[in-house]
């Protein structure tokens, strides 16, 4: 078993329940990890036998460009798209961080993590 991690995919997006968030947007960071049998990639050195982390980052950017009210919804969309791209028995984890959410008080980040 192997583990691929793509950390710190930075995206400016327009998610949130407040109308202001739809207009001004905010900073987000997405981390993706995938666990699976990558032994064939280890043996063959072939990109086609593994998960292309450049494509992972592209999928995250594509899905984050679609507005959601909730970060839970955006994370679930990212997860679904990753699973559709690589459907074979991999275990995914998507961690979506909303930096400086516009809520009462001084809050550094809100985080949602989905696994599947």
Q: What is the pLDDT of residues 71-101, one digit of tens each?
A: 999 999 999 999 999 988 999 999 999 999 8
Token code pair at residue 104: 């009462």
Q: Is the pLDDT of residue 2 over 90?
A: yes
pLDDT of residue 60: 98
Q: What residues act catalytically?
A: 98
Q: In which domain, by residue range, is 92 found?
A: 2-115
pLDDT at 73: 98
Average confidence score pLDDT of the chain: 95
Q: How many domains does the chain have?
A: 1
Nearest to 35 by CA among 89, 80, 71, 82: 89
Terminal Cα-to-Cα distance of the chain (whole angstroms): 16
Q: Tell me the CATH number at 54.
A: 3.30.1130.10
Give yes or no for a contact between 74 and 68, defined as CB atoms under 8 angstroms apart.
Answer: yes
**pLDDT over threshold 90, residue 8:** yes
Residues 68 and 94: their CA atoms lie apart, in Å, by: 16
- Three-state DSSP string of the chain: CEEEEEEEEEEEECCCCCHHHHHHCEEEEEEEEEEECCHHHHHHCCHHHCCCHHHHHHHHHHHHCCCCCCHHHHHHHHHHHHHHHCCCCCEEEEEEEEECCCCCCCCCEEEEEEEC
């Amino acid at each position: 078993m192997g583990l691929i991690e793509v950390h710190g995919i930075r995206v400016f997006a327009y998610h949130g329940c407040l109308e202001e968030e739809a207009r001004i947007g905010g900073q987000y960071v997405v981390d993706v990890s995938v666990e699976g049998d990558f032994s064939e990639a280890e043996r063959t050195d072939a990109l086609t036998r593994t998960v292309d982390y450049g494509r992972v980052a592209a999928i995250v950017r594509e899905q984050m460009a679609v507005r959601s009210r909730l970060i839970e919804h955006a994370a679930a969309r990212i997860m679904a798209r990753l699973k559709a791209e690589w459907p074979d028995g991999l275990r995914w984890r998507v961690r979506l961080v909303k930096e400086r959410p516009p809520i009462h008080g001084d809050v550094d980040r809100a985080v949602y993590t989905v696994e599947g």
